[in-house]
Amino acid sequence: MPDGTRTGRGIVAIGLAALCIAPGVLAGESDGESGAPVKTYGQALVDRTVNDHPELIALNLHVRPPDGEHGMIIASKRRDRVGEKLEIRVPLQDTAGKTIGAMQAVYAYDRGEDEARFLSRAQALSGEMQRQIPTMARLGQPARPTDGLDIGGTQSLPTTKQVVSGKALSENEQEGYAEAIKNVAGVAPGNSKGSANDSVNIRGIKLNLFSNYRLNGGVPIAGVITMPIENKARLETLKGANALQYGVASPAGIVNMIPKRAGENDVLSISGAGSNFGQYGGTVDVGHRFGDGKEFGMRLNASATKLENGVRGMDGDGEFGSAGLDYRASDRLTFQGDFEYYRKHVPEQAGITLLDPVKGVIPETAVPDPRNLLSGPWAVYTPETTNAQVRADYLVADNVKVVTEV
């Protein structure tokens, strides 16, 4: 510390391995003939993140591939700050959950502040960036005008919300959306587990089945059947006043389902799962991009499940299929389409009510054995749902776009 006015401290998150980045290898390219620098996607991402987070003094990404060659250092411009600084390093991952390097965040720090709070903030920032990094290679590619502007609905909505993604979704593919978001604060299931139609309450208010469920932030979809999540990248739960951006809807909130899209890398996944009740099923996930510039993407998902939830005589079956398409017509124009079909054939469980009062006293109702089907095998619920949605996004100018959706 030459003059005592600038000091620095550092925190490294547990589990972060030391990274040795080759000096002089920075994220940047040239346009060839003119030699003018072309901003990379990684540099644009860093600059945009620093601009959105004024509490940051600087933000650096240290990226290294598995083979240990051609590492990148992507650094932001450093804001002037007189006083102490706190440097925090946390692992950096891509959208697939693969560690590709480290993120270094520098915060303004006042002596005595809780350092754990800054570590939590840096980890949340790393998660925010992870959702915008499809692959490590994408960081070194040229930036497009549409990057970070929600073209095609691939970015987060600018609202306060709880996001469920990754492992939490994959572990509940056979159970549906209600099981995946049950641990979100303020969210509680509205129907008994294992029923053919899930519903949820947010802050004690039941969501409207015809206006409070959205696909990719667009028009509402009907929730008359448990909505599958095999083709969903994440679920966003918007509470209270955040639902007003969708117009007429229950004041409880909104459940927004973001479908998967074909990424820079091809996807082919086949998986299966089962339960101790005898339920079992399988899923298929295929993603690929076509064209010289990989401008056309297709993501296909399908599943079939033999349904069993522990209630005698309540077995059934369910099937699901979906296609997610997107076409980058230009740097400013993007088209996308989402198509889903799902059905279930399963008996519905009956409920019980209180007996009529006798002389002002309500008789106690015997609690039935939860393993028994109170209705009968004849009470088969056979819902089918088809969702089709097409959307076009055109970027008129920076931060101004026109969206058309049917």
**Alpha carbon distance 345, 179 (integer Å):** 20
| Residue 248 in this model has a pLDDT that exceeds 80 | no
Neighbours of 299 (CB within 10 A): 23
Domains along the sequence of the chain with CATH: 6-139 (3.30.450), 151-259 (2.170.130.10), 267-405 (no CATH)
| Mean pLDDT of all residues belonging to the chain | 79
| pLDDT at site 284 | 95
Sign of the four-CA dihedral 372, 376, 379, 382: positive
Indicate the DSSP class of residue 202. E
pLDDT in tens, 310-349: 888 888 899 999 999 999 888 888 999 999 999 988 888 8
| Residue 351 in this model has a pLDDT that exceeds 80 | no
For the chain, percent of residues with pLDDT exceeding 70: 79
Tokens of 12: 């490294």
- CA quadruple 50, 51, 55, 61: dihedral, nearest 10: 0
| Residue 225 in this model has a pLDDT that exceeds 70 | yes
pLDDT in tens, 183-196: 888 888 777 655 67
**Higher confidence at residue 67 or residue 405?**
405
Are 394 and 401 in contact by the 8 Å Cβ rule? The answer is: yes
pLDDT in tens, 33-91: 545 567 888 898 898 888 888 888 889 998 876 555 667 788 887 777 667 888 899 99
pLDDT in tens, 144-174: 766 655 444 434 444 566 777 766 777 766 6
